[in-house]
Structure 1
Amino acid sequence: VPLDGGEPRRITPVAFRSLSYAAWSPDGRALALVEDGRLSITAMNEKGEMTGSPRRLSSDLADAPRWSGDSKSLVYLSMDRLKRVFVDTGRTEEIKLQLEWQPEKVAGRLVIHAGRMFDGKSADYHRNLDIVVEGNRIKEVRPHSQSLHTGNWIDATDKTVIPGLFEMHAHQGISLGEKQGRTWLAFGVTSVREPGTDPYEALESREAWESGRRPGPREFFCGRLFDGSRVFYSIAEGLASDAHLDLALERARRLEYDLIKTYVRMPDAAQKKIAAAAHRMGIGTSSHEIYPAAAHGMDGMEHTGATSRRGYSPKLSAMSRSYGDVVEILARSQMNYTPTLILPGVPLILAENPESLKNAQFIALYGEKAAQALATRAVMANNPAFRDSIAAQGKTVLSVLKAGGRVTAGTDSPFLPYGLALQLELQILVRSGFTPFEAIRSATLWSAEAVGVGSDLGSIERGKLADMVIVEGDPLQKIEDTLKVSVTIKNGKAYPIKDLLAAPK
């Protein structure tokens, strides 16, 4: 972009390829770029024009390159290392750092006297119980005993205790700062699955939340989407060669991804290779694709429709109908299905339940203007064709459940507000024919099992991690009551709603 005016001009260092990063040198004589996963530079003249082809500087994977002030070297991330490369010689050195963190150690006993408890498994409540937590784990769930009500205890005799909620499809950033974590907890979300993000930002969030430096949920993430040679979203990485794919898989292993998501332009044969590699790492995979993804061993599928490399949706017709083979493949393969039904369906829920935007969490964390802006989308519900489309998609999701498929709750936030969107997803699942029990199970036990942490999370049982939500009302009768959060307990630590809605001092 000329500083003195004029039209912006596109610079294309490598034709028909997506670049992960580009950074102009301070002296204006070179452009650093990451292409095919490796760091290169290309010479530039005073007009900002390339005067040669890119020259490779590194053979290892490079992320986030930054120039030194004298334009003689670049610093970049390489998986779990920080490195410097000197432009003239190509010599590379590692910058040694001592960066350590420890998970928060929660000590002491916490007792919750639950009038009603949904354990995540049974279709009805257990009543008048004491949930005894030692440190960060549930020591026992037992009939109420007044003798336990000493020290640190919570009186929930007129409330309902449910397992902490999982958000199974959200994409985060660092722009919200510490408020991001509080927002999740305020809506009862104690675990977030993030199928596509900047891996270094996700690691920062995970470590900050797990160490207790900032309040927030558990973080289960995939780094950048594994995509083909060209990408659409900035959280995707164009993998145009086997060598680059191998580097990206090694990054996933070194940074301890929890899953890998392949994206729209990734060829089917490469998707099969990725699924096998992920399983060797002990992690799952997901994509938008249904077949041959199921035959290739992919573990999950996102969205009712969404983009596809085929140029059309193999899952959903133009009239929002799905054929029987979609239901059968999902049910028989046991691929986890996260339909994100609220993403297209939010106008319908807002039209039918406008009170959802008046809850204390949304007003405190997002503000009245955000509520008013979101409320305007309800007008789409007046369109009969729109209502028919959402009903048809909901029918497919219910059919998958009834056929024995595994459905979990996710939203694709930030297209919809974090936290609130998951609560509305539960409402639209019930509207589509799920029982409240089935909807809550989709956001608790089944989500934990899909992520691979079902032995620790997703239900209220002896020995499991103490992630719970205390809500007012009766959510197994009225799903909207899951929104009435009183206290969120994550890792044995209780967060009253008033504390979550207040900015730190």
Structure 2
Amino acid sequence: MNQDTVLRRQTVLIERGQIKIIGAANRVKSPAGAVRLNGRGKYLLPGLVDTHAHLPGKEGTLHPLNTYFRLQLAAGVVGLRSMRGDSSHLHWRDSLRRTAALAPRLYLGSPVFNRDQSYSARKGRAILARYQTSGYDFAKYLGGLTVPQYDSLLTDAHQLGFKVAGHAPASGVGGAVAARMASIEHIEAFIRAYQQDSVQLQQLARQMAADQIFTCPDLYWYEVNWLQYPLDYLQRLPGLAYVSSPVRQEWQQWWTTQNQQLPPAARPQFTAALRTYGQAFRIMHKAGVQFLISPGDGPFVVPGYGMAQELGLLVKLGLSPYEALRAATYNAAVWLGEQDQRGTLEPGKAADLVLLDANPLENIANIGRVRGVVLNGRWVSVAQLLPAQP
């Protein structure tokens, strides 16, 4: 995603998992024996990356792993940045790469840094170094450290060349920006920052843009968890029928219980908080802050399919469809240090792509009209990934 336009009547030649040639269809000839895919009337773009995933298991929803991965691919998601690390994830990632399984690429955050009364700078540096040498791609900060502890953690991480992503510290957005946290997750810290001093937030946003500090709002997660949707709407979500019956029943019971227990004043307060985040979002967008895309994980977040919900919400807040798609592709590649290999359709880039039946630049909802994905150069249709609609 490097231009807000459609290149029409193109042929894309893929060889050994990489894009070799992109050119006019009447000029590029397919080599003998090539597998040909007719994309007439369809739209090809880089595969999406969900940058705040919680993999199934003790830190995520208990989806069967194979179903979880196939749902992601069926929705055009070819990469997952996992935000709750576990040693088992290292084995999953290595096994998936070794066997060329049908699964998105995994980018693994470490086990979380959380409240720890015995924490010390020396201990934190040793833990960071261990996570880095173990093969985690970045460190995840969840919360609970004192401001000096957090600052020490970030200083050590910078010295090690190990990115830190996660929640804003006790010192808020300002503290995260001063410490040059690589990405700030969620929306609450930005809501507080706007409420406390919207002018200062403008200054912080400009600094975020200058220092390439990204943010991943997970806005759809808040819309669901703050009960902004009626149950009948959530029960009709695309892809929900593929979620296992026990998980769907658990989600329905969760919503019913939350709705019954919600104080009458809470829902409008949540709605007002989301409006405030919209103001903060527009300040960041105007300042040039780079966004990452994820619907989060939890009740009524259908793996993969939730990306369309998140993209739609961010377009409503002010991103153009192109900016939203770029955030889900190129921005993710930049944050992961893979912009030379992924994130755009160019010769030499990895062939991890998604083919759509309609133009998402005209209507972001068309990102949900996935025909299939190209995974490491291999075409996989939605029909191959999922059974007939239950």
**TM-score normalised to structure 1 length:** 0.65
* Superposed counterparts of 1:223-234, under 5 Å: 223-229=110-116
Contact 2:138 / 2:163 at 8 angstroms: preserved in 1?
yes
Contact 1:322 / 1:396 at 8 angstroms: preserved in 2?
no
Query: 1:395 deviation in Å?
Result: 2.9
Segments of 5+ residues of structure 1 without an aligned counterpart are: 1-119, 231-238, 306-312
CA shift digits 1:333-384 (9 cap, x unpaired): 331011111111247885699499353x43234469839939968999x965
Distance in 1, Cα, partners of 2:302 & 2:6: 30
Distance in 2, Cα, partners of 1:442 & 1:423: 13
Contact 1:163 / 1:459 at 8 angstroms: preserved in 2?
yes
Q: Which moved more, 1:155-164 or 1:256-265?
A: 256-265
Contact 1:349 / 1:427 at 8 angstroms: preserved in 2?
no
Q: Which moved more, 1:146-155 or 1:461-470?
A: 146-155
Distance in 2, Cα, partners of 1:349 & 1:423: 17
* Superposed counterparts of 1:154-193, under 5 Å: 154-174=37-57, 175=62, 176-193=64-81
Match of 1:277 in 2: 156
Aligned match of 2:321 in 436, 439, 443?
436
Match of 1:216 in 2: 103
Contact 1:319 / 1:389 at 8 angstroms: preserved in 2?
no
2:26 is equivalent to residue 142 of structure 1: no
Q: Which amino acid aligns with 1:252?
A: Y
Report the secondary structure of 1:215's partner residue: coil
Report the secondary structure of 1:178's partner residue: helix
Query: 1:449 deviation in Å?
Result: 0.7
2:252 is equivalent to residue 373 of structure 1: yes
Contact 1:272 / 1:297 at 8 angstroms: preserved in 2?
no
Contact 1:341 / 1:394 at 8 angstroms: preserved in 2?
no
CA shift digits 1:172-223 (9 cap, x unpaired): 134523222212111111111112221x121122123212353111111112
Distance in 1, Cα, partners of 2:364 & 2:191: 28
Q: Structure 1 pair 385/259, CA: closer, same or farther in 2 (3 Å)?
A: same
Match of 1:403 in 2: 287
2:5 is equivalent to residue 128 of structure 1: no
Distance in 1, Cα, partners of 2:360 & 2:192: 34
Kindly report the root-mean-square deviation, in angstroms, between the aligned alpha carbons of the 2 structures: 3.2
Segments of 5+ residues of structure 2 without an aligned counterpart are: none
Q: Which moved more, 1:480-489 or 1:325-334?
A: 325-334
Q: Structure 1 pair 369/338, CA: closer, same or farther in 2 (3 Å)?
A: closer
Distance in 2, Cα, partners of 1:321 & 1:293: 16
Distance in 2, Cα, partners of 1:157 & 1:326: 46
Aligned match of 1:331 in 197, 200, 206?
206
Q: Structure 1 pair 388/245, CA: closer, same or farther in 2 (3 Å)?
A: closer
Contact 1:167 / 1:189 at 8 angstroms: preserved in 2?
yes
Aligned match of 1:457 in 318, 342, 351?
342
More helix by share: 2
Contact 2:121 / 2:152 at 8 angstroms: preserved in 1?
no
CA shift digits 1:294-341 (9 cap, x unpaired): 112221111111xxxxxxx5x324997872323431332331011111
Report the secondary structure of 1:443's partner residue: helix
Q: Which amino acid aligns with 1:219?
A: L
Aligned match of 1:344 in 216, 219, 222?
222
Match of 2:125 in 1: 246
Report the identity percentage: 22
Distance in 2, Cα, partners of 1:341 & 1:456: 28
Contact 1:181 / 1:214 at 8 angstroms: preserved in 2?
no
**TM-score normalised to structure 2 length:** 0.83
Report the secondary structure of 1:460's partner residue: coil
Contact 1:345 / 1:428 at 8 angstroms: preserved in 2?
no
Q: Structure 1 pair 351/284, CA: closer, same or farther in 2 (3 Å)?
A: same
Match of 1:481 in 2: 366
Distance in 2, Cα, partners of 1:353 & 1:478: 24
Contact 2:82 / 2:106 at 8 angstroms: preserved in 1?
yes
Match of 1:116 in 2: none
Contact 1:321 / 1:396 at 8 angstroms: preserved in 2?
no
Q: Structure 1 pair 375/273, CA: closer, same or farther in 2 (3 Å)?
A: closer
Distance in 2, Cα, partners of 1:327 & 1:275: 23
Q: How many residues align?
A: 365
Q: Structure 1 pair 163/138, CA: closer, same or farther in 2 (3 Å)?
A: same
Q: Which amino acid aligns with 2:200?
A: D
Match of 1:364 in 2: 242
CA shift digits 1:76-131 (9 cap, x unpaired): xxxxxxxxxxxxxxxxxxxxxxxxxxxxxxxxxxxxxxxxxxxx111111111111
Match of 1:91 in 2: none
Query: 1:135 deviation in Å?
Result: 0.8
Q: Which moved more, 1:475-484 or 1:382-391?
A: 382-391
Distance in 2, Cα, partners of 1:367 & 1:439: 32
Distance in 2, Cα, partners of 1:349 & 1:406: 26
More strand by share: 1
Contact 1:398 / 1:433 at 8 angstroms: preserved in 2?
yes
